[in-house]
Amino acid sequence: MSLIAILSDVHGNRHALEAVLAAARRRGVSEWWCLGDLVGYGADPQHTLTTCVAGASRCLAGNHDLGASGRLSLADFSAAAYDALAWTRGQIGPDGRAELDRLQPADVDGDVPLFHASPRDPVWEYVLTTSQARGALERVRAPLVLVGHTHVAAAWHLAADGAVAQHRPERGPVRLGEGRWLVNPGSVGQPRDRDPRAAWALYDTGAGTVEWIRTPYDVAGAQAAILAAGLPAALAHRLAEGR
Ligand code: ZN
């Protein structure tokens, strides 16, 4: 049995990543997984890229990582994301882009399949509704499937009778067992559920549980770094509002 920290959507936010990794160590995790979007939006892409690639035992590429490495056109992104990605490409240089090139948006090798966005579309599909969750859960047979991308902590359960129900993380941990679970840990570096604290999840393989955790971090420090880098000010402001 082991304790595994599930991190997603770090987005160049060094302050949030360091706080979450310290909290994970205090909880005694033996390893951590990263569901992609290591870079983009935040001011420390080289740091978050290196930390995730070196430290995570499984690490995906998200749509922003594919944009930064050149595998996706930056024309596919919103204006603020475009500006941040163009800046990020220069910051991480050819070596960083090569590191991102080695990551994929899905990893279905283990008992727990990982997708940056969804099993149907690992790069772009946002799983926000129960019908989208059903589409995802019907595509995989594993008892637990992990996705990121929406920046909102969430979970859905597919029961043996075919019913799909949403579980709100604030109601506490879920116990795996009957049926299948689709779990989103939320975003480390840019939460969008009106709670600015960094979001992540703890998977206890022995107990068969997944628990959602929020970790306070130095939001002002992350904001100051974004402004000092000359990135769009909106990317700094949104961190304090959790949106
Ligand atoms: Zn993201």
Q: How far is CA 93 from CA 34, 81, 189, 194, 237, in A?
A: 22, 18, 22, 33, 27
Question: What whole-number distance in Å separates Cα of residue 92 and Cα of residue 153?
Answer: 29
Q: What is the pLDDT of residues 90-142, one digit of tens each?
A: 999 999 999 999 999 999 988 999 999 999 999 999 999 999 999 999 999 99
Best CA proximity match to 207, nearest among 182, 159, 173, 175: 175
- pLDDT above 80 (res 208): yes
Expressed in angstroms and rounded, the spacing between residue 190 Cα and the centre of ligand 1 is 8
Strand 164-167 vs strand 154-158: parallel, antiparallel, or unpaired? antiparallel
- The DSSP output letter for 123 is T
3 CA → ligand 1 middle, Å:
24
Confidence class for position 84, pLDDT limits 50, 70, 90: very high
What is the rounded CA–CA span in Å between residue 120 and residue 189? 25
Q: Please give the average per-residue pLDDT across 74-101, as a whole number.
A: 96
- How far does the centroid of ligand 1 lie from the alpha carbon of residue 223, in Å? 17
Q: Ligand 1 centroid vs 178 CA: distance in angstroms? A: 30
Residue 1 reports pLDDT greater than 80: no
Mean pLDDT across the chain: 97
Pairing state of beta strands 164-167 and 180-184?
unpaired
CA of 149 to the centre of ligand 1 (A): 5
CA 161 to ligand 1 center in whole angstroms: 33
